[in-house]
Structure 1
């Protein structure tokens, strides 16, 4: 049975639409085909993950949506327009938190507003609320260099939430963390998505992580990157650590893993 959320998004016009997308890199040794005939539509409020082994083009696809990579053919639209960098309705969070070590947690979170010359006083008030939401209220005045890796990623997530983009793009944001902190932040992200209902596009190698977070999982194979299947994740929200212990979640993880292993192109965790 589909959740109410997935039923609502399935009838809305897509905020991201990709059709017949092809992407190659040109090298001295010849062309390298990165993506082939990609077809994806992402609807308002959906959480969609791209999962697959290294070399399947997950991050490239995310960067194309962000307007940070070009492509050779096909059509990509974000809110009906070609993707372009720097737009305020699309925000991106990378593997590295990209904090300024000499600035405090609060001043790192509000930095984009400062750069855009927005209302800094209002931004700081809102930032304090979001810093509390991501569990860093006791560290508001700590400097970037004083924080652990997990804390730094929380600051990066808070900064993205403060900008409040309609689409959040997340490129393996927790991949460098230990298993404990990764699971904790993944659950926190799931909770925040339920609360804010923003469209999210998430890149990960972890099948279990994708299942826990997503409404749909786009399964990609490498060399070149192609869509094997788009799997609906019809698990009830809110989701917790116990969600992955359910028979339904276990079967979804098993199905996606078997799909990837059957192509013998690499191993996803």
Structure 2
């Protein structure tokens, strides 16, 4: 499948897609040229590029400083739009403090378990202690019994409490309503279960989903290499999509 830069919108996950996953969320390494790559893509695609992540906006702003493309945080709860994007999309979700306190009380003392509190979601990482997953899941199930407007979402070595109706597919559909995304074929690139909603949204909108393990066997470095080829296209050339 050939990809023409003038015809697509790109929606990119961050961890596991653009950068390698680390044992702790705060230990990731961002390649020096990643923001430059996003800027080149922004220019070549006429602005139709966005990073959609489960991370909080403070993380995205720190990891991708002066990013020239929209940053979508917490699976679509928060949008940060750089100059040149004329529409406005505000936050609509919030974690109840009582729920956060309940999870901290149930899991905060477990060795190797990291509780990541965000504005709209609450993520519990157990990559450093995978044997704790049953304990984490049981505690989160007790939480949603008390706060049924939330659901448990699985991720790589993590479980997350997330408001029902909040996912990366919702973020894609919201962005696709506006220029410069509107009227293009959307492509979502991701590596995790949480990216499947974004992939499904793109498929339903006539686009495509690409999964890092299957479509980019080399991981994030292969994704970035392919994106550089897209960014370097001279109109109206096409780039060959990974098989």
TM range (shorter): 0.3 to 0.5
- TM-score (normalizing by structure 1): 0.31
- TM-score (normalizing by structure 2): 0.33
